[in-house]
């Protein structure tokens, strides 16, 4: 089954239907992940939303692909794909693969310093770094420094979220 056929529009019902199909036919999940990273704007975003929704309901179906997703994220040009996958990964920061964890951390820090990145992507990046920093406290100083450096030109939302993260790091 061609995953693009499952995703004719961005509607919630379409995403829910595609999610149910993917849970019933997990063989389509690799194709959805591939489509997510093909930079076919609307289809890529829709596919990543489906993968994220499957992960919410049945993470065991997506878990084998976490490393592949992490490795592909830096090359993604679609903000919606980044947003969906970072949202998903923000719930799964207990990754055992050190190389993948470093790739994810570097990507999240790059996202934070890029002024063109959309706010939701930055929010999930902050959450991921903070969550990992609970196990690696040395990251907290770097996270606080990056957030503070961005605050002078950041949105009100970023400043609010950033301040909450800074306070949490100081506890």
What is the per-residue pLDDT across 98-111, written as a single tens digit (0 to 9) for each? 999 999 999 999 99
**Looking at the domain assignment, is residue 87 inside a domain?**
no
Q: Are residues 136 and 165 in the same domain?
A: yes
Mention every residue, 6+ apart, whose C-beta is less than 8 A from residue 161: 122, 123, 126
What is the per-residue pLDDT across 51-91, written as a single tens digit (0 to 9) for each? 999 999 999 999 999 999 999 999 999 999 999 999 999 99
What is the per-residue pLDDT across 25-57, written as a single tens digit (0 to 9) for each? 999 999 999 999 998 889 999 999 999 999 999
Q: Are residues 66 and 7 in the same domain?
A: yes
Domain range spanning residue 150? Answer: 93-171
- pLDDT, residue 75, reads 94
**Looking at the domain assignment, is residue 88 inside a domain?**
no
Mean predicted confidence (pLDDT) in 136-157: 94
């Amino acid at each position: 089954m061609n995953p693009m056929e499952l995703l004719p529009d961005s509607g919630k019902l379409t995403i829910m239907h595609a999610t149910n199909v993917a849970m019933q036919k997990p063989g389509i999940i690799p194709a959805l992940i591939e489509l997510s990273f093909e930079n076919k704007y609307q289809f890529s975003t829709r596919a990543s939303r489906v993968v994220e929704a499957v992960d919410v309901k049945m993470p065991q179906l997506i878990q084998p692909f976490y490393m592949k997703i992490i490795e592909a994220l830096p090359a993604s040009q679609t903000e919606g794909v980044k947003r969906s996958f970072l949202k998903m990964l923000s719930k799964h920061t207990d990754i055992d693969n050190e190389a993948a964890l470093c790739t994810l951390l570097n990507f999240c820090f790059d996202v934070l310093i890029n002024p063109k990145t959309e706010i939701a992507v930055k929010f999930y990046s902050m959450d991921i770094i903070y969550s990992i920093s609970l196990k690696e406290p040395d990251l907290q100083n770097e996270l606080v420094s990056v957030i503070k450096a961005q605050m002078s030109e950041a949105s009100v939302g970023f400043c609010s979220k950033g301040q909450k993260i800074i306070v949490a790091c100081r506890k």
